[in-house]
Amino acid sequence: MTIKAPKLIVAISSRVLFNLDESNDVYEKNGVKAYAKYQIEHEKDLLEPGVAFPLVTKLLNLNRYGDYVELILLSRNSPDTGLRVFNSIKHYKLNITRAVFTSGISPHRYAKAFNSHLFLSTNPLDVKEALASGCAAATILPSKTSTTSHSEQLRIAFDGDAVLFSDEAEQIYQKEGLEAFAKSEQNAALTPLTQGPLHNFLAVIHNLQKELPYDNCPIRTALVTARSAPAHERVINTFRAWGIRIDEALFLGGMDKGEFLQAFTADIFFDDQKSHCLSASQHVATGHVPHGIKNQP
């Protein structure tokens, strides 16, 4: 009997989906009451797509192959002010039916309650709390770029250490330097790295790929890492041990990732280091995963 892959569940904040900068400025300058008044007065005004809107549409488009993906809205709006968001969802014909409106309180706890495989938000504190609760999460950075693949194929790129993998190797690099890191990775080449915060998200993506057409698969993944030979061997052996397919692997040896992510036409890129994320966000939509030694005080 064939076991169906679990449905991919992604929780998103309203500011990930739509551009709410203008109304957020009202909140920052004049407070909650002025914000609520503004949203209700503009209830019929459609919101412009946000930085992750193309990602959301491509995720939902996977459902043309079957019941594979669900998007859930988690918003700090009140139910009253959230009506504008739902009006825009309806206008863009996005199949998002489940939502939580928390009236200013962090909604991160509901990501885990919905069994989400990933939570995307523009609020760094919400993301940190979600990660601490065991839910994969990333902070979507502001981006001016509109770069995305014009095809319907969903393209997702990941950094390795402290994202897909634990930060065990990164700790050696930060504490002892490049030479010690390279030697340690050579010695441990046959020992799989332990799982990082986005491992399960990639695993579900991989399981979906197995059910979708192999030729011209509508999902393509890439590892984009600062590692280079000989530290590549442990990475490849780790994916083999996990039984997970990665479609492309870019071992850049410390080169800037932005141009390569643009060449891959990533719909989203995940990295643990804020400086790498800021650089990448000039080229593609980027999620910061605040995990590992580089994110410790």
Tokens of 99: 């939502």
> Is residue 181 within 8 Å of residue 253, measured between CB atoms?
no
- Can you say whether residue 122 is alpha, beta or left, with left for phi > 0 and alpha for psi between -120 and 50 degrees? alpha
**Nearest-angstrom CA–CA distance, 18 and 94:** 12
Q: Which residues make beta-bridge pairs with 70?
A: 9
Tokens of 278: 């800021």
Contacts of 159 (CB under 8 A, 6+ apart): 223, 224, 225, 226, 257, 269, 270, 271, 272, 273, 276, 289
Catalytic residue, from 21, 25, 159, 215: name it: 159
Helices (H), 74-123: 83-91, 108-113
Q: What is the residue whose two structure tokens read 């009506």?
A: 83
> Is residue 35 within 8 Å of residue 65, measured between CB atoms?
no
Whether 21 is catalytic: no
Q: How far is CA 237 from CA 194, 241, 253, 271, in A?
A: 12, 6, 19, 21
Supply the DSSP symbol for 154: E
The residues that are catalytic are 159
